[in-house]
Amino acid sequence: MPWFCERKPEGIQKLMEYITAEEKTKLEKDLEQRRRADSEITDRIARARELGDLKENAEYHAAREDKAMNQAKIEMIEEKLASAVVADPADTPDGVVFIGTTVKLRDVDTEDEELYKLVGEASGRFDMEYVEVTSGSNLGQSLFKAKIGETIRVDLPRGERSFQIVEILE
């Protein structure tokens, strides 16, 4: 069994998710906002219910759908926070890729170099000088605990690729 999995009692493996302290704070803020929104949505449902005939009440049905989607997101965040391991940069040895680390990778075939940051939770931003790689992705799993000078092989959607770790920036 890979080192990054833990065995659950039912025999199902669960990938351990590492996140940074900043990512944890962001998730906690998102959870707080969604809980506040949940009570507002509940109020919307109550107001729509007062309008009468629920069968043809579009506002009621829209509010119920919003509540279900928001509740699903709340449960997902709660589960992630309960199972995530917050990575402490102080525990990371120098020269090893870990959560929060930015690395320069060289594509072995093309010699192109690009910056990647290993994250637990992607921000969804594309305006940064690096590409975010989540720890659960194929590239993220290959990078995790790799060292400078090492060549990693990754199964990507467009086939297997090899990258050399040129430099660790953070």
What one-character-per-residue DSSP string does 58-126 give?
Answer: HHHHHHHHHHHHHHHHHHHHHHHHHH-EE--GGGSPTTB--TT-EEEEEETTT--EEEEEEESS-----
Start-end of CATH 3.10.50.30 domains in the chain:
89-168
pTM for the whole structure: 0.65
Size of the chain, expressed as the number of residues it contains:
170
Contact (CB, 8 A) for 73 and 34 = yes
In the prediction, which pLDDT does 5 show?
A: 41
Q: Where in the chain is the domain with CATH 1.10.287.180?
A: 21-86
Assign domain 89-168 to a CATH class. alpha beta
Q: Please list, in sequence order, all residues whose beta carbon lies within 8 angstroms of the beta carbon of residue 142, skipping any fewer than 6 positions away.
A: 152, 153, 154
Rg (CA), the chain: 21
Residue 16, pLDDT score: 62
What do you get for the CA distance between the two ends of the chain, in Å?
29
Beta partners for residue 164, in sequence order: 106, 151
Number of H helices, E strands in the chain: 3, 9
Query: Along the 170 residues of the chain, how does pLDDT read in single tens digits?
Result: 343 444 344 444 455 677 888 889 999 999 999 999 999 999 999 988 887 777 778 888 899 999 999 999 999 999 988 888 887 767 777 788 888 889 999 999 999 999 999 888 777 778 889 988 888 888 988 988 889 999 999 998 888 999 999 998 86
Q: Is the domain 21-86 a CATH 1.10.287.180 member?
A: yes
